[in-house]
Amino acid sequence: MSTTPSRNASIFQGNLLSRAVIDAVVKLDPRKLMKNPVIFVTEVVAVLVTVMWIRDIQAANGDAWFSGQIAAWLIFTVLFATFAEAVAEGRGKAQAASLRQSRTDVIARRYLTRDMAHGLTENVGAADLVPGDIVLVEAGGIIPLDGEIIEGGAAVNEAAITGESAPVIREAGGDRSAVTGGTTVLSDAIKVRITAAPGETFIDRMIALVEGAERQKTPNELALSVLLSGMTLIFLIAVVTLWGIAGYSGSILSVTVLSALFVTLIPTTIGGLLSAIGIAGMDRLIRFNVLATSGRAVEAAGDVNTLLLDKTGTVTFGNRMATEFIPLPGKSARTLAEAVVLASLGDDTPEGRSIVALAKSDFDLDVPNLAGEETTIIPFSAQTRLSGIDFRGRAVRKGAIDAILREAGVTMAVAPDGFRQSVEKIARSGGTPLGVTENGELLGVVHLKDVVKPNIRERFAALRAMGIKTVMVTGDNPITAAAIASEAGVDDFIAEATPEDKLAYIRKEQDGGRLIAMCGDGTNDAPALAQADVGVAMQTGTQAAREAGNMVDLDSDPTKLIEVVEIGKQLLMTRGSLTTFSIANDVAKYFAILPAIFAATYAVAGKPTGPLDDLNIMNLGTPQSAIISAIIFNALIIPLLVPLALRGVRYRPSGATSLLRRNLLIYGVGGLIVPFIGIKLVDLVVHNLFGA
């Protein structure tokens, strides 16, 4: 996959970091911080301690150095938290800037009438276009706004969107008719019906999404924010209670000490990294050239239970090609070819075009000129699964076997032996048979061949290890579907599937409490994409499909759905792991600091310390150095964890039990141990160098 440099640039580039520093200061605005309760409370405490510091300076009571240190590091804690979010946003803003530069003022050739009857055009600015207008774009021209090709075909450079410089073919009809504003036509000429208003194009949506302008907290983030807010309130009550207990025991704790203790105990680590984790998850998708319309979709991808995958283009390479005409006994191959060419006049799919190409190469047959003839063309549709033509008393049909059998008024059991044997042979080989009839009489079968993608079986096995069920959806008959499903290694398949079948399956799974992901590119996929919890639309697909999905794959690679699921799981794992680490940190800091604070409580005559000093297992120098060391550690751990939050916890396909065990062992136990080591090292510096 080819991507633009802006997508692959290091997040720690100098220009990104300098911009992040400025944004971090801007984010100190309390109105912005209120969205993050833990860090907002930390900022309030920092202001309170700063006031205490100013008071101590004026009173000259000797505590100014201590309160000044606490105030400074509390401010740094808030800054590091906002800096983490700003760094995470940096890549998105850089990409948004690159996209803005790609936009140019385009002069479009708009037809004076939308029916193009007279072929007259006028030059207008792209900003003057409205949905429904039809424009002519010739070689070298820029497509002004998003639209659908209604006539013609052309090679289009979509590097501004996908980062891929290789041109792609866009043409009227089928599922590759959508074009994006800002892309360049390299050859031929196309007529485009505008479908998006100025400011609402795909590029405009990309800019808004990647720079975070439309980012909202996901349900998991909201739930975690509520949990962290609850924990903050609990620790506030605990600290106030501790003040009363200390006073009763003869120890006087200052407001500065209590404030510092409070900040070290609340989950500031995950509070400072929570937004960065969510933004980084979206950024990882962007680096895979997948655009998510919301963080909710990324999270849902991590919880997916079932993947619904189209066979063509996902499990197989797609673009099935006609390889053979197999007539029934008594019929000639040429007669069959002539009939199937006529029936393909209403089939603009790659398969339909390959049939015409095969007839041309094998029998030198061209598409007949029916101008002036009284004809009725039956276009191919996903519902009927056939195409055909009626003219001169002939009714020719070509399509899926079950549809053709209904057309002929017979069942497979009573179909001619030659027809039945040909269908079974093609199906067992993994190919797709198409039946052909004329006036209700079976003529023969067309062999469409497709190839399963390499290594796809291993990828499905990895998904199975994650606990994800894979279901292949195809319009093929059950025998063909079973052969390809077995070769690819999917868990289940749906044969002879219609759009209604996809929708019904998704609803059935969702009613059972499972989350469904699917991909699609056609208008017929739009209902299922909208119904699925994770709907990945292909950028090359129709406008309806792109609007229905909650993700868009800029590379139009259906297999990327697997990476989307992995990124979603990585996002959830990262958030869970760092939450575990943060809470474990709080527990460790609690037992590291409190013994040092109360070391002198109940002191025995002639000794500076009392029996509670035995709990000071870290042997911290003084109560003041213990507090300062904890505050410094609490501040520094946030930027130290920023790379992990942005990169994400490494994901390995395994069961939930294994993942939980690994999380508790590494981030739970690690979160307990690291503060003891870190605070002790900081204390050695603070106590020995500064005498605190």
CA 32 vs CA 26, 75, 181, 258, 431: distances in Å: 9, 16, 34, 26, 59
DSSP type of residue 309 = E
Residue 92's identity, in one-letter code, is G
User: Dihedrals φ, ψ of 677, to 5°?
Assistant: -70, -50
Q: What is the distance between the alpha carbons of residues 533 and 518, in angstroms, rounded to a whole number?
A: 8
What are the DSSP calls for 634-686, one per residue?
HHHHHHHHHHHHHH-PPP----HHHHHHHHIIIIIIHHHHHHHHHHHHHHHHH
Q: Cβ of 547: how many Cβ atoms within 10 Å?
A: 15
- Report the SS3 class of residue 310: strand
Do 546 and 256 touch, CB atoms closer than 8 A? no
DSSP bridge partners of 196: none
Distance CA 291, CA 535 (A): 11
CA atoms within 13 A on the CB side of 328: 14
- Spatial CA neighbour of 444 closest among 428, 420, 427: 420
582, 637 contact by CB (below 8 A): no
DSSP string covering 356-396: HHHHHHHH-------TTS-EEEE---TTT-EEEEEETTEEE
Separation of alpha carbons 608 and 557, rounded Å: 71
Query: For residue 349, what is the DSSP state?
Result: S
Closest CA to 374 of 402, 397, 394, 358: 394
Helix (H, G, I), strand (E, B) or coil at 492: strand
Rounded CA gap, 140 and 149, in Å?
16
Inter-CA distances, 517 with 252, 285, 465, 475, 568, Å:
59, 16, 17, 19, 12
Based on DSSP, count helices (H) and strands (E) in the chain, helices before strands.
Answer: 24, 21
| Both tokens assigned to 98 | 């690159």
User: How would you write 137-168 as a 3-class SS string?
Assistant: EECCCECCCCEEEEEEEEEEECHHHHCCCCCE
CB 499 within 8 A of CB 528: yes
Phi-psi region of 636 (alpha: psi -120 to 50; beta: other; left: phi over 0): alpha
- For residue 67, the one-letter residue type is S
Q: How many CA atoms lie within 13 A of 196 on its CB side?
A: 24
Nearest Cα residue to 158 out of 166, 147, 150: 166
| 427 within 8 A of 615, measured Cβ to Cβ | no
Q: Using the 8-state DSSP alphabet, how is residue 650 labeled?
A: P
Strand-pairing partners, residue 75, are: none
Enumerate the active-site residues: 310
* Exposed e or buried b per residue across 321-333, where buried means at least 16 C-beta atoms within 10 angstroms of its C-beta: bbeebbbbeebee
Q: At what angle do helices 64-102 and 623-647 cross, to 10 degrees?
A: 10
Q: What is the largest CA-CA distance in the chain?
A: 119
- Locate 334 and state its tokens: 């040429």
Strand runs labelled E in 608-681? none
